[in-house]
């Protein structure tokens, strides 16, 4: 089917029918359908204090602690863990800001090391915030679910397809056991975008034909110094953990670590269906010596009904850095530009709204479900955000290889970016892969 035929397909395959038949599910993953809570129904937390533990107290971990304490005034910070000791100093700031809502037993529930995640999980918490280096997310999530905890997963929730399948299986187990799961794709919880997409889903702009999304920044986050400045006695793994955003193996590249937000908005607009193929371009325009993560991606996705969606992302200092969406329907368009969203029909703006990101709102929704005894799960249920991550991996793979990648191909990938992650420590050897070269890098 040609890409130009998308507009002719809208009368044959409606958007609602498309969503129903192509959303990530049993067929895409070869997994059994999600089981709703039955024998293990969720127990309502009511008004009791909810004990929160955080694994990984970097910038996003600190933010997640603030977000959940702000969202639910009857939560307390109970335990903290990180592979490094210094981030735990932030607990003192939480104690000042949230008086009476930090109880780590005088620091006895401060845990340091690669096994800190398990100690936080076992400390008596109700909710675990998983915000450490993303490479560890599937392992930590599996442990949290096994211990019966409600879990927040910062994005990205997995970096390769084997890891993604592990996360989906864990999410299904959590749902069956009555445990709630929330991811960190905060645009989904931004009130103005929630309202706009509700209008789009209700057909205000007709059937969605195509979407173009962008997510750009003015530079790489936590840009690594030249590798020559690594202290001679510092293990390679320790250096890599300190600058994980620069490494494919630890952060998933910019496509997963940063640009996933824009790909998620694109997927949202397209109905969260799984595209059937992707071809792409990308580059390391301003490479960081010793690192392998790219700074630019251009992705084209094709859906089963012939519709297409495009994504553009880059992290280059001094460059124009747009973040937004253009959603084209049979009756009109919807636009997102930064904090503003608009809907235009017949050349007239019929709706416009501004708003902030949903950092606090997502935790408000999350804890409200826990208190009511209702299971919330946006990995495989509410938004199926596993799909957005697989789309990201698919796009990254298409760009790396320079090949056309199908949905069946990407789901067959056996590529594990970092092996034996359960047994990692600072003495584990670490040698990053060479930066990908399109047309030469093979599909695994």
CA 200 – CA 232 distance, rounded (Å): 56
Q: What strand order describes the sheet that includes 340-345?
A: 348-354, 340-345, 332-337, 323-329, 208-217, 308-315, 296-302, 277-283, 405-406
pLDDT of 39 reads: 40
Lowest mean pLDDT: which of 9-13, 105-109, 268-272? 9-13
pLDDT of 302 reads: 98
Query: Domain 3-16+208-329+383-423 has what CATH class?
Result: alpha beta
Q: Which residues are CB-contacts of 273 (< 8 A; sequence separation ≥ 6)?
A: 18, 19, 21, 22, 23, 267, 303, 304, 387
3-16+208-329+383-423 with 34-186: one CATH topology?
Answer: no
Report the Cα 435 to chain-centroid distance in Å. 23
pLDDT(26) > 70: no
User: How confident is the model over 187-195, as a mean pLDDT?
Assistant: 97
pLDDT(1) > 50: no
Question: How is the chain split into domains, by residue range?
Answer: 3-16+208-329+383-423, 34-186
CA 116 – CA 61 distance, rounded (Å): 14
Instruction: Dig out the tokens for 119 from the structure.
Output: 């100690």
328 beta partners: 210, 333
pLDDT of 41 reads: 60
Residue corresponding to tokens 């007709």:
206
Q: Are 251 and 245 in contact (CB under 8 A)?
A: yes
pLDDT(157) > 80: yes
H or E segment to which residue 326 belongs: strand 323-329
CA 190 – CA 226 distance, rounded (Å): 37
pLDDT of 256 reads: 97
What confidence tens digit (pLDDT) does each residue in 37-88 have?
434 567 898 899 999 999 999 999 999 999 999 999 999 999 999 999 999 9
CA 241 – CA 132 distance, rounded (Å): 10
pLDDT(93) > 60: yes
User: How confident is the model over 170-194, as a mean pLDDT?
Assistant: 97
What confidence tens digit (pLDDT) does each residue in 401-440 have?
999 999 999 999 999 999 999 999 999 999 999 999 999 9
In whole numbers, what is the pLDDT of the chain averaged over residues?
91
User: How confident is the model over 168-183, as a mean pLDDT?
Assistant: 97
pLDDT(23) > 60: no
CATH architecture for segment(s) 34-186? 3-Layer(aba) Sandwich (3.40)
pLDDT(261) > 60: yes
What confidence tens digit (pLDDT) does each residue in 320-336 have?
999 999 999 999 999 99
Q: CB-based burial of residue 346 (10 Å sphere; 0-12 exposed, 13-18 middle, 19+ buried)?
A: exposed
What confidence tens digit (pLDDT) does each residue in 282-313 have?
999 999 999 999 999 999 999 999 999 999 99
pLDDT of 45 reads: 86
CA 207 – CA 62 distance, rounded (Å): 41
């Amino acid at each position: 089917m040609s890409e130009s035929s998308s507009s002719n397909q809208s009368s044959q395959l409606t958007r609602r029918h498309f969503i129903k038949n192509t959303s990530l599910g049993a067929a895409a993953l070869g997994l059994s359908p999600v089981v709703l809570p039955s024998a293990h129904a969720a127990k309502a937390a009511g008004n009791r204090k909810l004990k929160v533990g955080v694994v990984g107290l970097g910038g996003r971990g600190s933010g997640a602690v603030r977000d959940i304490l702000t969202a639910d005034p009857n939560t307390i910070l109970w335990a903290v863990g990180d592979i490094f000791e210094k981030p735990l100093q932030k607990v003192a700031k939480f104690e000042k800001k949230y008086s009476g809502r930090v109880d780590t037993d005088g620091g006895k529930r401060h845990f340091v090391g690669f096994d800190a995640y398990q100690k936080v999980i076992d400390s008596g918490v109700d909710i675990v915030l998983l915000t450490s280096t993303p490479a560890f997310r599937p392992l930590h999530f599996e442990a949290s679910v096994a211990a019966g905890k409600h879990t927040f997963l910062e994005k990205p929730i997995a970096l390769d397809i084997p890891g993604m399948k592990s996360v989906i299986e864990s999410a299904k187990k959590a749902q069956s056991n009555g445990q709630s799961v929330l991811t960190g794709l905060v645009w989904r919880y931004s009130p103005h975008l929630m309202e706009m997409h509700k209008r789009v889903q209700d057909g205000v702009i007709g059937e969605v034909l195509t979407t173009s999304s962008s997510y750009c920044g003015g530079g790489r986050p936590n840009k690594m110094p030249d590798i020559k400045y690594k202290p001679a006695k510092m293990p390679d793994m320790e250096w890599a953990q300190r600058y994980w955003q620069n490494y494919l193996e630890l952060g998933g590249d910019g496509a997963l670590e940063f640009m996933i937000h824009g790909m998620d908005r694109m997927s949202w607009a397209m109905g969260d269906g799984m595209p059937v193929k992707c071809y792409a371009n990308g580059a390391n325009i301003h490479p960081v010596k010793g690192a392998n993560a790219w700074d630019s991606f251009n992705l084209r996705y094709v859906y089963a009904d012939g519709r297409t969606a495009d994504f553009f992302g880059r992290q280059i200092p001094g460059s124009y850095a747009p973040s937004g969406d253009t959603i084209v329907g049979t009756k009109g368009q919807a636009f997102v530009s930064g904090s503003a969203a608009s809907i235009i029909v017949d050349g007239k703006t019929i709706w416009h709204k501004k708003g902030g990101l949903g950092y606090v709102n997502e935790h408000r929704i999350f804890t409200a479900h826990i208190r009511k005894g209702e299971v919330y799960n946006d990995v495989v249920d509410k938004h199926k955000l596993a799909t957005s991550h697989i789309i990201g991996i698919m796009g990254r793979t298409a760009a790396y290889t320079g090949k056309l990648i199908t949905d069946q191909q990407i789901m067959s990938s056996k590529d594990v970016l970092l092996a034996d992650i359960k047994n990692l420590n600072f003495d584990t050897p670490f040698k990053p892969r060479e930066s990908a070269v399109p047309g030469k890098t093979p599909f695994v």
